[in-house]
Amino acid sequence: MWNFILFLILLFLVLSILFNLIKETEEFPEIPPSCDDTGSGNEEASNNEEVSNKHYYSADEAITSLQQTSDQIFAAVLDDGATQFRDNSKILGAEDYSKLEAAQKYINRHQTKLQPESKANLEFIIGRDDYIDDKLDPALDNYQSSLTFWQQKDTEQDSQENTESTLPKESIHNPKLKEAAILSHIGLCNYRKAQLNEAESDTNLQEACDYFEQCVTIFGEEKRPDLAAKFISQWQEVLLKQKNWEQLEIISQEYQQIIENNGTAVQVAQNYGFLAEVAIERQNWAEAKELAQKSLQALETLPEAQKPPQSWYLLLLAKAQRQLGEVEEAVTNLEGAKSGASEDNLQLYIDILEELKALYVEQSENLKEGENQLELTEEQLAAAKQEQQTLAEVNRNLRQDLTEIQKYKKVLEKVNQKNQEDLTNAKQEKQKLEDENHKIKQYLTQIQREQQILEQSNQKLKDDLTQTEQEQQKLDEAAQKSKHKLNIGGIALLAAVIVATVLGFKVVNLQNQLKNIQDKQEKINKETTQETTAKSKVTQDFEEKLEKLAQLKKTQNELDKAKNYLIGMLTSLGWKNKQINNLFLGEGQINGKLDQLIQAHQKYEVLKEQKKKRLQSRVENYLLSKKKSRTTTDN
C-alpha cells in the first residue's frame, strides 16, 4: 500500500518537472517591431519592399528583366543618335522603368552575384542616371567599367580562330555597337564637364573630341553609315567649340556623301551648317551664303510639325548677307532667327542680338558719314532723323530693360539670402539631431547595463536550481536504498518523499522566478529593438535633411549662374533692342519660381516640425517605458 502511494507521488513529481522543462525549452515566436502611428519610415520601408517584390520572386527573373531593359535602352540610344538624350524613364516608360528599379533593388538587397555581361549592362544604366543628375565622375566610372567589358568581349571574339560571329552587324548584341554607344556617352560627360568648369575646358573638350571620333570610327568599321550619320554632329560640335576649322572642314566634307545618302534632312542641314561656319571664318561670304541656304532648303523637305528650330541657319545666312551688302535681307533673317530662338540656347540668342547690333551700328555710321560727305535731300535728312529717333527709342528701351534687370538682380539677391538662411537653419537642425542621437545612445548604454545585471541574477538562480536538483537526486538515491529496510524503511521513505515534495515545490518556485526574469529580459530586448528602430529612423531623417540641404545648395548654384549671366550681359552688351527682355524670364515666370521656392520652403518647415514632434514623442515614450520598467524591477 505504502509502496503504491509513494509510486504515485513520485510519478506526479516527475511529470511536473518534465512539463516545466518542456515549457522552458519552447521557442517563442519572433515579436514584430513596434510601429509608431505617426512614423512614416516603416510605411516607406514596407512600400519599398512591396515595390521590390512586385515583379520578381527570384534572382533569375530580376536578371532577365535587367537584360531586357538594357537591350531596350541600347537600342533607343542608337536610334536617337546625337539629336537628343532621353533618360531611362522616358525610354522605358513608367511601367518598365518601375520594373527596372525593382530589379535593381532586388539585386542590391539580396546581393545577387551577376555575370560580367549583366554587371556591364547595369553599370551603363546607372551611369546614364548619374549623367542626368550631373554626377559626372561616378557616371564616367560606370561607363569606363562597362566599356572595358565590351572591349574585352570584342577582343575575345576577334581572337577566335576559324570562327565567325553568328550575330549580324546590325544586331543590338554586337559588342562593337555597344562599345561605340558607351564611347559617345563618355564624350558627352567630358563635354558637360567642359561647360561646368571653364578652367579645364580645353582638356575636357579634347577628351570629348577623342571619344566622339572613336565612336564614329567604330560605326565606319562596322559598315553602319546610318549610325555614323546620326552621331557625327557631336564630333563636329566639339570641333566648332575648339575653333579647329581645318579639322571641322575635313570631317564635314569627308562624311558629306555618307550623310546625304544615309542621314535625315536634319543631319544634312547640320553638316551644311558646319561647313558654313568654316566659310564665314575664312570670309568666303558667297560660299557661306550658299551653304546656309542649302541647310534651309534641306529643312524645307520636312513637314511643318517636324521642323527643328532654324535660328542657327538664319544667323549664318544673315552674317553672309550682311558682308555682301544685302542689309534688308540680313535684318529680315535676323529678326526671324530671334523670334524662333529657343529659350534653352541663350548663347545663340546673344549671338543673334550681337549681329543685329553690329548691323545697326554700321547703318548708323553710314548715315553719319553720308551727312558729312554728301548734301542730303530733305527726304534723306528726314529718313536719317527717323533713324536717329529709332536709335534713341532703342536706347530708351535699353535703359528700361536695364532697370528691370536691376530689379531681377535684387530679387535674385533676396532669394540667395533666403537660401543662406535656410542653410543656416538646416545646420542648426542637424546639430540638434546629433545631440538627440547622442542622448539615445546614452539611454541604450544604460539599458545594456541593466540587462547585464539581470543576466547575472538569472545565472545565479540557475546555479541555485542546479544545486537543488543535485540535493533532490541524492535524496532520491537515499530513498531507493531505504526501500529494502522493512521497519524503518517505510517511515524514512515517506520522509524522503515529503522532503522531495517540498524541494519540488521549491524547484517550481525557482523556475517561476526564472521565467519572470526571462520575461523581463525579453521585455528589455524588445525595448532595445524599439530604441534601435528609433535610432534608425533618426538617422534616416538626418540623411533626408542632408539631401534637402544638397538640393538647396544646388538651387543656390543655379541662381549664382543666372546672376553671372546677367552681370556678363550688362558688361558685354552696350545696347539692346526692344525685345531684349526675351533673354530673361518674364516677371510672371520669376514670380512663379519664387512662389515655388517659398512653397518648397514652407513644405520643408512643415516636414521638419513633424519630424521634430515624432522624435520628441518617441523620446518621451521611451523615458516613460524606462521609468515603468525601473518601477517593476524595484517591486
**pLDDT tens digits, one per residue of 423-446:** 777 777 777 777 777 777 777 777
Comparing 246 with 56, the larger pLDDT belongs to 246
Q: Which of the two residues, 259 and 635, has the higher pLDDT score?
A: 259
Averaging pLDDT over each range in 163-177, 235-249, 557-571, 591-605, which range is the top one? 235-249
578 residue type, one letter: K
What the block records as the C-alpha cell of 136 is 559626372
> What percent of the chain shows pLDDT beyond 90?
28
Supply the pLDDT for residue 578.
Answer: 45
Dump pLDDT digits (tens) for 378-391: 565 667 677 667 76
Torsion on CA atoms 136, 137, 142, 145, rounded to nearest 10: 130
- Predicted confidence (pLDDT) at residue 249 exceeds the cutoff of 80: yes
Residues in the chain, total:
635
Distance CA 472, CA 479 (A): 10
Check: CB of residue 439 under 8 Å from CB of residue 622: no
Per-residue pLDDT of 287-315, as tens digits, reads: 999 999 999 999 998 888 888 888 999 99
pLDDT tens-digit profile of 407-427? 766 776 777 677 677 777 777
Least confident among 182-191, 321-330, 456-465: 456-465
Residues of the chain with CATH 1.10.287: 419-634
pLDDT of residue 568: 63
Three cell numbers at 529?
529593438
pLDDT at 64 over 90: no
- Residue 133: its H or E element: none
Has residue 577 got a pLDDT over 70? Answer: no
DSSP letters, 478-513, are HHHHHTT-SHHHHHHHHHHHHHHHHHHHHHHHHHHH
Q: Which residue has the cell 563635354?
A: 191
The span from the CA of 391 to the CA of 383, in Å, is: 12
Average pLDDT, the chain: 76
Residue 266: band (very low, low, confident or very high) from pLDDT cuts 50, 70, 90: very high
Specify the pTM: 0.52
pLDDT, residue 42, reads 41
Among 255, 351, 334, CA closest to 292: 334
For 502-511, the pLDDT digits (tens) are: 556 665 666 6
pLDDT tens digit sequence for 41-63 = 444 444 444 444 445 457 788 88
Which residue ranges does the chain devote to CATH 1.25.40?
Answer: 264-370
pLDDT at 378: 59
CATH code 2.50.20 for 264-370: no
> CA-CA distance, 324 to 317, in Å (whole number)?
11
What's residue 104's pLDDT? 84
How far apart, in whole angstroms, are the C-alpha atoms of residue 335 and residue 351? 12
Output the pLDDT for position 45: 40
**Residue 365 pLDDT grade (very low, low, confident, very high; cuts 50, 70, 90):** confident
Q: Identify the architecture of domain 419-634 in CATH.
A: Orthogonal Bundle (1.10)
Residues sharing a CB contact under 8 Å with residue 169, sequence separation 6 or more, in sequence order: 222, 223, 224
| pLDDT for 571 | 56
Retrieve residue 489's grid coordinates: 524503511
Residue 40: pLDDT over 70: no
Of 79-83, 184-188, 201-205, which gets the smallest average pLDDT?
Answer: 79-83
| CA dihedral sign of residues 533, 538, 539, 544 | positive
Q: Using alpha carbons only, give the angle 277, 352, 572 rounded to the nearest 5 degrees.
A: 105
* Res 37: pLDDT: 36
Q: Which three cell numbers stand for residue 317?
A: 545666312
Confidence of residue 159 (pLDDT cuts 50, 70, 90): low
Q: What angle is formed at CA 234 by the lines to CA 229 and CA 239, rounded to 5 degrees? A: 115
d(C-alpha 609, C-alpha 497), whole Å: 69
More confident residue, 615 or 233: 233
**How far lies 624's CA from each of 477, 527, 630, 631, in Å?**
52, 12, 10, 11
Q: Give the confidence band of 234 by pLDDT, cuts at 50, 70, 90.
A: very high
